Amino acid sequence: MAEDRMIVCLACSAVNRVPEGKSLTAAKCGRCSEALATPQPADITNDQMRLLEKKDTGAFVVDLWAPWCGPCRMMAPHYAAAAEHLQSDVRFYKINTDQHPDAAIRLNIRGVPTLVAWKGGREVSKQAGAPGGAALERWVRSLFGLAPSPN
């Protein structure tokens, strides 16, 4: 039997038990009733990232970016498309490193954009650079053992 995932609600910081295999799009916070996953990447703070690292065991990817970064802006629509396609299994977050430099320092990020993936309460991969649409989605699918895209 698969273990439940512990998913942090970004709206109220509650930790929610979600059965493995249940679509995250159907999961709501037990405390505040907010959706636990969204079809678009959610902007998060350094404090929210710390909470995710400490208490969340589900699959998620964080894009560390900056508004002045051309490759970050070029990758943003591909990141949003991947979030929409994979929202039932993986959550997608963004941290603006200009607003939250402590997150980049703590995560040992040397340049932006950098994608960092977590599952089971641990960092599973880090990728610097701006992968395009199909490559980005393939990377996420392979990390989390998701079936290849039907297209």
Residue 81 Cα distances to 84, 101, 133, angstroms: 5, 26, 8
104 vs 23: CA distance, rounded Å: 30
> Are residues 144 and 59 in contact, defined by beta-carbon separation less than 8 angstroms?
yes
Burial of 150 (0-12, 13-18, 19+ CB in 10 A): exposed
Catalytic residue among 9, 29, 32, 69: 69
53 vs 122: CA distance, rounded Å: 7
Catalytic residue among 9, 29, 32, 72: 72
Q: Is 72 in the active site?
A: yes
Q: Is 29 in the active site?
A: no
> Are residues 106 and 45 in contact, defined by beta-carbon separation less than 8 angstroms?
no
Instruction: Give the residue numbers marked as catalytic.
Output: 69, 72
